[in-house]
Amino acid sequence: MFGSTPVCVVLSMDFCNLYHMSTSGDADVSSPVLSGVPVVAGVRYAPVVRPGRPPSDDDDPTAAPADPSAEDERFRAAVTAVAARLRDRATRTAGPAAEVLTATATLAEDRAWLGAADKRIGAGLPAERAVREAVAQFTDLFTKMGGLMAERVTDLQDIRDRVVAELRGLPEPGVPLPDVPSILCAEDLAPADTAGLDPALVVGLATSRGGPTSHTAIIARQLGIPCVVAVGGLDVVPAGEMVLIDGTAGTVTVAPDPSAAADAVTNAQRADEQTARWSGPGATADGHPVGILVNVADGAAARAARRTPAEGVGLFRTELCFLDRDTEPTVDEQAQIYGEVLEAFAGRKVVIRTLDAGSDKPLGFAGQPEEPNPALGVRGIRIARDNPGLLDHQLAGIAAAADATGNQPWVMAPMIATAEEAREFAAAVWRYGMTPGVMVEVPAAALLADRILEHVEFLSIGTNDLAQYTMAADRMSADLAALTDPWQPAVLALVAAAARAGGAVGKPVGVCGEAAADPLLACVLVGLGVTSLSAASAAIGRVGAKLAEVSRTQCEEAADAVLACAGAAEARTAARAILG
Ligand code: PEP
Ligand code: MG
């Protein structure tokens, strides 16, 4: 469809301009290659699937229906269609996903809310408005009741959006469950959406927004789904179009030649098989040991990560377990969730990070204030200031999980900016008999790492936020992706400062930000003095295999070369010249 004139008729001017720019003027034979920022390596060829947006109430009909009983029939038919679709999907999936779909279908047909909507339609409201009002009645009530009932609020709102979309003849909102393996293309995705993706059906992920360290990117890494973000021109590629996504080159090719696309997939698979042969433990070619650890979001991710050569967990992002919660999980619930990760890595190192709520990961129960600039606001450890119970309950949950599993984790705090914060956090962790550490994500913490290390046993550098705060560039901004590039020498100078401080007192300094997932940059980090690298499962093999190819001296030479550079591109080239 893209090879001839009609493309400009059916698609926007933006796409046409992009198309002509990226095909070197030969619009008749080439396919448009859209460029973005590579996030998860891997090449896949599949049709595009797109999430539907929740229908806005601005477009709901306002006039009273001429025949309320016909309107009620229209409403009931929409509910039946939505529930049937959910049940049909449940039969085509398995495990917890099937249970969730069946439960949602049952809730869609719940008599209480259907009755509330019927009543409003009978009183003359159009079905769309009746649905919104009836759902609001129950969500208000459930929110007030709190606990498990409050958790149904999101489910009911999801049903509301599906029923209204059905009434208005719009595509189903949310991330669809495709019938065939597909490439999910979206403007951006909420962490809760991406967390539920099935990697067997969503085989590629491309977004037009978001940076390489956005949480969409992080979860794509977690699931090992090839991913490219900040892809210009992506929003006009329609659902159903065949695309070739290349998560290494950072490209999305629209309607490529099918046999060339199949060859590209086969070649990439061959390269993957080579890295799959690396079996650990982490070390340079001349035997300098480097811990290769994995980042996980929950027990399921940890169990999957046990199939990689990862020696332990370097970052357990606990807040990702609770993104859909409006109420604080109990200590027992938390203990059970953390215990799953400790059990998956029994007898091995596990670093648990306390809740990093705020900014792009708001937690309903964290009591965060409305702020004009949340990335610089009350997030991470700062939440504990006004809400010390939250931290204490979490530490109690972690300690209980440690007792139950016999695996003693290290515990670290996000967003530490001062030695005083580190001291207070360490005291709280010691009270539970656990080993405290902190993340280095704020430049102040890197600059004063020696003073922070007087209080804690280890540092873990979060290069995603460290880049954001060093370069004063929002990590979510596609426009600023070049600034939040972890190859920026200013960011690496701060990594060097923190690693030096750790080396001086013999305390470990790891990197758990996305920089550790880039095999070349991982070698540079080792040259800077970093003692462990923690990355998503999908990156473990590539990072370990690359490190095993180079000597410690090469890593150190590359680190020196990079620190002498003026920019990220120059730094990459300098490192490549030394590390291959
Ligand atoms: C980081 O900032 O590098 C980090 C690991 O934390 P998160 O990405 O969860 O903010
Ligand atoms: Mg961070």
Which uninterrupted H or E stretch holds 161?
helix 147-168
The CA 511 to ligand 1 mean position distance, Å, reads 10
The CA 39 to ligand 2 mean position distance, Å, reads 17
Atom of ligand 1 nearest to the CA of 461: 3
Going by DSSP bridges, is the β-strand pair 410-413/349-353 parallel, antiparallel, or unpaired? parallel
- Domain 15-51+175-273 in CATH: superfamily? Phosphohistidine domain (3.50.30.10)
Ligand positioned closest to the Cα atom of 467: 1
Cα distance between residue 124 and residue 343, in whole Å:
57
Q: Which pLDDT tens digit goes with each residue over 234-246? A: 999 999 999 999 9
**Structure-token pair, residue 356:** 């990093």
Give the per-residue pLDDT at 16. Answer: 31
> What's 283-579's CATH class?
alpha beta
**Structure-token pair, residue 425:** 């956090």
**Structure-token pair, residue 58:** 């601005």
Query: Which residue from 317, 415, 468, 485 has its CB within 8 A of the most atoms of ligand 1, so it is best to mutate?
Result: 317
Question: Which segment of 21-30, 43-52, 84-93 scores lowest on mean pLDDT?
Answer: 21-30
pLDDT at 18 over 60: no
Does residue 20 carry a catalytic annotation?
Answer: no
Residue 566's Cβ-count burial label (10 Å; 0-12, 13-18, 19+) is exposed
The CA 414 to ligand 1 mean position distance, Å, reads 8
pLDDT at 96 over 80: no
Cα distance between residue 426 and residue 358, in whole Å:
21
Instruction: Name the closest-CA residue to atom 4, ligand 1.
Output: 462
**What is the mean predicted confidence (pLDDT) over 116-130?**
96
Sequential DSSP letters for 239-269:
TT-EEEEETTTTEEEES--HHHHHHHHHHHH
Domains 15-51+175-273 and 283-579 share a fold: no
Domain boundaries, the chain: 15-51+175-273, 57-167, 283-579
User: Which position has the token pair 């080159």?
Assistant: 249
Per DSSP, the three-state class of 440 is strand
What is the percent of the chain where pLDDT is above 70?
A: 89
List residues bridging with 296 in a β-sheet: 316
Q: Which pLDDT tens digit goes with each residue over 63-77? A: 999 999 999 999 999
The CA 495 to ligand 1 mean position distance, Å, reads 14
Q: Residue 531 gets which letter from DSSP? A: -
Give the per-residue pLDDT at 551. Answer: 98
**Structure-token pair, residue 79:** 């509910």
pLDDT at 29 over 70: no
Query: Which residue from 294, 318, 321, 356 has its CB within 8 A of the most atoms of ligand 1, so it is best to mutate?
Result: 356
pTM (two decimals) = 0.66
List residues bridging with 489 in a β-sheet: none
Instruction: Name the closest-CA residue to atom 6, ligand 1.
Output: 462
Query: Which residue from 194, 218, 296 has its CB within 8 A of the most atoms of ligand 1, so it is best to mutate?
Result: 218
Which residues have any ligand 1 atom within 6 Å of their CB? Answer: 213, 218, 315, 317, 356, 441, 462-465, 512-513
Sequential DSSP letters for 54-86:
PPPGGGS--SPPS-HHHHHHHHHHHHHHHHHHH
Q: Which pLDDT tens digit goes with each residue over 436-460? A: 999 999 999 999 999 999 999 999 9
Cα distance between residue 305 and residue 299, in whole Å:
10
The CA 474 to ligand 2 mean position distance, Å, reads 12
Position 212 confidence tier, pLDDT thresholds 50, 70, 90: low
Beta-carbon contacts of residue 413 (< 8 Å; ≥ 6 apart)? 353, 354, 380, 381, 421, 422, 425, 436, 438, 439
Cα distance between residue 167 and residue 40, in whole Å:
38
The CA 289 to ligand 1 mean position distance, Å, reads 24
Long-range Cβ contacts of 253-262 (<8 Å, 24+ apart): 253/31, 253/32, 253/33, 253/34, 254/2, 254/31, 254/32, 254/33, 254/34, 255/1, 255/2, 255/3, 255/31, 255/32, 256/31, 256/45, 257/31, 258/45, 261/45, 262/45
Comparing CA positions, the residue from 52, 35, 73, 528 lying closest to residue 251 is 35
List residues bridging with 361 in a β-sheet: 358
The CA 40 to ligand 2 mean position distance, Å, reads 19
Q: Are 50 and 59 in contact (CB under 8 A)?
A: no
Give the number of other Cβ atoms within 10 Å of residue 464's Cβ: 23
Query: Which residue from 441, 463, 474, 476 has its CB within 8 A of the most atoms of ligand 1, so it is best to mutate?
Result: 441
Does residue 565 carry a catalytic annotation?
Answer: no
Q: In CATH terms, is domain 57-167 a member of 1.10.274.10?
A: yes
Instruction: Name the closest-CA residue to atom 3, ligand 1.
Output: 462
Comparing CA positions, the residue from 215, 272, 207 lying closest to residue 245 is 207
Question: Which segment of 169-173, 410-414, 524-528 scores lowest on mean pLDDT?
Answer: 169-173
Cα distance between residue 512 and residue 461, in whole Å:
6
pLDDT at 97 over 80: no
Question: Which segment of 100-104, 194-198, 457-461 scores lowest on mean pLDDT?
Answer: 194-198
Whether the ω angle into residue 32 lies within 30 degrees of 0, i.e. cis, is no
Instruction: Name the closest-CA residue to atom 1, ligand 1.
Output: 462
**What is the mean predicted confidence (pLDDT) over 82-101?**
74
Instruction: Name the closest-CA residue to atom 10, ligand 1.
Output: 465
Catalytic-labelled residue, pool 512, 523, 555, 565: 512
Catalytic-labelled residue, pool 215, 321, 523, 565: 215
Check the CA dihedral 129-134-137-138 and report its sign.
negative
Comparing CA positions, the residue from 227, 253, 228 lying closest to residue 242 is 253
